[in-house]
Homo-oligomer: A and B are copies of this chain.
Amino acid sequence: MKVQIGISNRHVHLTDEHLKKLFGKNYKLENVKDLNQPGQFVSNSKVMIKTLKGEINDVRVVGPTRDYTQVEISRTDAIKLGLNPPVRKSGDLIGSSPITLIGPRGIVDLEYGCIIADRHIHITPKQKEVYGLSNYDKVTVVLQGEKGGTIGNVSLKVSEESYFELHLDTDDANAHLVRNGDLAIIIEGEDL
């Protein structure tokens, strides 16, 4: 079956505490664009992310605030920063890479929190059943085109509140020359 592709550029999720520290006491994230996942939005708030070896400016904060602070980057970004972050699911942060966030009003030094997000598909429990994927936590997906191929280790991220969508980072998208809104094809479940 087909699934729409959503490409995630590097971005940051913040706790309430870190939002205040970076942007000031009464700062609120403004929703400038709804993302497809219900409740999630792009803000116009940006931070610098920095290590001893490099820095990247204007990294967008995705709202709303969460109960963890997380920096999601691509391997291309990681090379620029001299980091080797693990591939992780959102929120699975223990032992991930250290990084510093710099906002207009303050600095946050994270002991860990920087990851390469795993490839994943947002899916409801009902869709998982209907699409015959009940027995799988992961699937293989075909990306079509001149530099197409298949990608493995695509997690099924199951939630009642989700919009059916395959999330890829910019490296996966650029390697395969796919764009936001293109369709990919789920070809098989991967055994646990």
26 contacts between A and B (CB under 8 A): A74-B174, A75-B175, A75-B177, A76-B76, A76-B171, A76-B174, A87-B146, A87-B177, A116-B147, A119-B147, A140-B149, A146-B153, A147-B151, A147-B153, A147-B172, A148-B152, A148-B153, A149-B149, A149-B150, A149-B151, A149-B152, A169-B175, A171-B171, A171-B174, A174-B175, A175-B175
A176 contacts partner chain B, Cβ-Cβ < 8 Å? yes
Interface residues of A in 141-181 (CB under 8 A from B): 146-153, 169-172, 174-177
A32 contacts partner chain B, Cβ-Cβ < 8 Å? no
A35 contacts partner chain B, Cβ-Cβ < 8 Å? no
Chain B residues with CB under 8 Å of A75's CB are 174-175, 177
Q: Which residues of A contact B (CB under 8 A)?
A: 74-76, 79, 87, 116, 119, 140, 146-153, 169-172, 174-177
Further 20 A-B residue pairs, CB within 8 A, beyond A87-B177, A147-B172: A74-B174, A75-B174, A76-B170, A76-B171, A76-B174, A87-B146, A87-B147, A116-B147, A119-B147, A148-B152, A148-B153, A149-B149, A149-B151, A149-B152, A150-B150, A169-B175, A171-B171, A171-B175, A172-B175, A175-B175
